[in-house]
Amino acid sequence: MSIKRLFALALTAALLFALGTGAAAAAAAAAADFPTKPIRIINYVAPGGIMDITTRKFTEIAAKYTKAVFVVENRTGAGGLVGMEYVLSQPADGYTIFAPTGSVVIQVVSTKSNVDKYIWGFDWVSMLMMDPECIITNSKLKINTWEDVVADAKAKGGKQIWVGPSTGGNDHLMAMKVWDKADISAVWIPFESGPAAMAALMGGQGVAYVGNPADIMGRPDLKIAAVSSSARLPQFPDAPTFKELGIAGLDEESMWRGFCVKKGTPPEAVKWLQDLVEKVAADPEWRKFFEDQGIEVVSYTTEKFTSLVKKDLEDALKYFTQFGIL
């Protein structure tokens, strides 16, 4: 290819690009006072991750209710700290939203990072859903009901193996709570990801996996031995709750997902987002997508969301200290 042709090609590409972005910006400006330009949602997981799917679904449904343009960006690393760091470095104008899950808050604690910066540097404005935590076992193994797990744990005296994603994450914290309340002990073997740990459970490496109800969908060998919910989930009627199994205080452990913005974001931008979340939360397609997985769709706003974040912080600090992670 001659240099001239190469140059011409590059120029055309640049021109097309400029045209494209220009048009998008103009369309957004015509829509409302806020937003006047595309809004970026910063994800801390890789493409294909749970929160990535959630945010992309959100932008898809939101398109029904607003003309605003959303761009989903993945800034992965350090269990969310890299993404948070990035959002904190952007102006607090509501055009950069962070998409956290409960796991991010716990990550801040387990890495001994600055809570004032990474947690209270944000306004926790919209909680989207709560995914109940549950204990999953392999029905092909001998030990597969909650009673089996407890009996086996007592027999093995602390050598029982539980598998799950990273140490010091949301699911590890849940395991600690369960061990504490059921008065058993076990070893936590961390894997690179939830699915990798589930493969380990399927292969019989451990007896229990901590995750969410949707994890057993499409994996017929796995079953829910106990779920953290005040009543049985309609989508998983066979899964007993902790309360039924005689364990108190584990009725509302969940992996929540939501949106937060940098502290100091103008109230009208926050209000706009909260209104949009409310509309999306009422959307039948949105509800069905998540409710099929046993997830409770909500649209909590700042006050309630903040109090839940506070509880997560306290729990993480308490149990990580008790189990010697901190």
Partner 1 sequence: MDSLLGLLRATGQLLSLQPLLLITVGISVGILAGAMPGVSPSMGVALMVPFTYAMDPSMALVYLAAIYLAANYGGAITAIMINTPGTPSAVVTSFDGHPLCVQGRAREALGLALVASFVGGAFGTLILMLFAAPLASVALKFWPAEYFSLAVLGLSTIASMGGENALKSAMSAALGLLVCTVGMDPVLGVNRFTFGNVNLFDGFEFIPMLIGLLALSEIFVEVEEFDFRPQKVEDEAGSKWPGFLYYWKLRAAMLRASIIGTIVGIFPGAGATIAAFISYDMEKRISKTPERFGKGIPEGVVAGEAADSASVGGALVPMLTLGIPGSATAAVLMGALMIHDLQPGPELFVKNPDVIYKLYASLFIGNTVMLILGIWGSKLWINVTRVRKQLLFPLIFAFAMIGSYAVNSSMWDVMVCLGFGIVGYILKRYNYPLPPFVLGMVLGEMAEMNLRRAVMMAGPTAVFQRPISVTMLAVAALSFVIPVISARRKRAAKAKGSVAA
Enumerate residues 172-231 that contact partner 1 by CB under 8 A. 187, 189-193, 195-196, 198-200, 202-205, 217-220
- Interacting residues of 102 by C-beta distance below 8 A, sequence separation 6+: 170, 254, 255, 256, 257, 312
Is residue 317 part of the contact set for partner 1 (CB under 8 A)? no
The number of residues that bind partner 1 (CB under 8 A) is 50
Spatial distance between the Cα atoms of 319 and 310, rounded to a whole number of angstroms: 14
Find, among 170, 128, 143, the residue nearest to 281 by Cα.
128
Terminal-residue alpha carbon distance, the chain:
60
Among 65, 120, 289, 323, binds partner 1 (CB under 8 A): 289
Contact status: 282 vs partner 1 (CB under 8 A) = no
Q: What is the DSSP string of 247-298?
A: --S-SS-EEEEEEEEETT--HHHHHHHHHHHHHHHH-HHHHHHHHTTTPEEE
Q: Which of 24, 69, 85, 235 binds partner 1 (CB under 8 A)?
A: 85
Part of the chain binding partner 1 (CB under 8 A), chosen from 21-29, 79-87, 247-255, 311-319: 79-87
**Minimum CB separation from partner 1 for residue 308, in Å?**
24
Q: Which is nearer to partner 1, 220 or 234 (CB)?
A: 220
Q: Which long-range contacts (CB under 8 A, 24 or more apart) does 75-78 make?
A: 75/42, 75/43, 75/44, 76/43, 76/44, 76/45, 76/46, 77/44, 78/107, 78/111
- The reply to whether 79 sits near partner 1 by the rule CB under 8 A is yes
- Taking CB under 8 A as the binding criterion, the range among 161-169, 240-248, 275-283, 299-307 that sits at the site for partner 1 is 161-169
Binding-site member from 25, 28, 78, 297 for partner 1 (CB under 8 A): 78
Q: In this structure, what token pair is assigned to residue 47?
A: 């493409």
Q: Does the protein bind partner 1 through residue 38 (CB under 8 A)? A: no
The answer to whether 70 and 57 have CB atoms below 8 angstroms apart is no
Length reported for the chain: 326
Is residue 157 part of the contact set for partner 1 (CB under 8 A)? no
Q: Is 46 in the site for partner 1 (CB under 8 A)?
A: yes
Examine residue 52 and tell whether it contacts partner 1 (CB under 8 A).
yes
Contact footprint for partner 1 (CB under 8 A): 1, 3, 46-49, 52-53, 56-57, 60, 72-79, 81-82, 85, 110-111, 113, 161, 166-168, 187, 189-193, 195-196, 198-200, 202-205, 217-220, 289, 325
